Amino acid sequence: MTDDLVTSLSPLLAAEASAEAYASGVEPGDLEQAVWLRLLERLEAEGPPPDPHRWLRSAVRTEARRTRRSARRERPYEREPAGAADHDPEQLALTAARHRALRDAVRRLPGRCPRLLEALLSPRDLTYREIAGELGISQGNLGPERSRCLGCLRRLLAPEVAAR
């Protein structure tokens, strides 16, 4: 049943994701993966949708809207004052402690998340193509994988951030 559903929905999903991706500022492959994930969640929770094609069109638009909303809410992190970490021993200690806590949390992540985030945090400033090649995954999978890993990292760090 699931294989038939995937086979029948694949061309429609590719077309819908390509149409919506540009406006939402996301790669079509990333949008497709997000919708496949929503379908799997739906199948586990409720079973197949009564009208799969209609559900798919709606899911693509919903994911595209969610992506646009999250992109509008994202703000760059505050940077430490330029030169402050170079001279102030207290700033050096605090920065080192933050970096240590982040690296420790990254190592505790499940699956291939530690390797992915280490590659993203690498001082070598790797491109997505290089990271995908290093991890042996497709470049289109990198965005959704990164999002899942960062979500895990947020949940892992939430108690530590709240304690401060």
Which of 137-142's residues contact partners 24+ apart within 8 Å by CB, and which partners?
A: 137/112, 140/27, 140/29, 140/30, 140/33, 141/29, 141/33, 142/116
pLDDT in 10s for each residue of the chain, 164 residues: 567 888 889 999 999 998 888 777 778 888 898 899 989 888 888 988 999 999 999 999 998 888 877 767 666 556 555 555 456 788 888 888 888 888 888 889 988 899 998 888 888 888 888 888 888 888 888 888 999 999 888 888 876 655 45
- The answer to whether residue 47 sits within a structural domain is yes
- The answer to whether residue 80 sits within a structural domain is no
- The answer to whether residue 133 sits within a structural domain is yes
Is there a single domain that holds both residue 46 and residue 97?
A: no
Residue-level pLDDT at 114: 92
Is there a single domain that holds both residue 38 and residue 64?
A: yes
- The answer to whether residue 78 sits within a structural domain is no
Residue-level pLDDT at 86: 59
* Residue type present at position 49: P
Residue-level pLDDT at 11: 92
For residue 90, give its domain range. 85-163
Residue-level pLDDT at 156: 83
Residue-level pLDDT at 53: 92
Is there a single domain that holds both residue 93 and residue 155?
A: yes
Residue-level pLDDT at 16: 92
Rounded to whole angstroms, the Cα distance separating 117 from 107 reads 9
Residue-level pLDDT at 83: 54
- Token couple for 131: 């990271």
Question: How many structural domains does the chain have?
Answer: 2
Rounded to whole angstroms, the Cα distance separating 27 from 52 reads 23
| 3-state class percentages of the chain: helix first, strand second, coil last, to nearest 5 | 80, 0, 20
Nearest to 120 by CA among 140, 146, 156, 147: 146
Residue-level pLDDT at 92: 82
Last residue of a domain, one of 73, 100, 122: 73
Residue-level pLDDT at 121: 83
111: domain CATH number?
Answer: 1.10.10.10
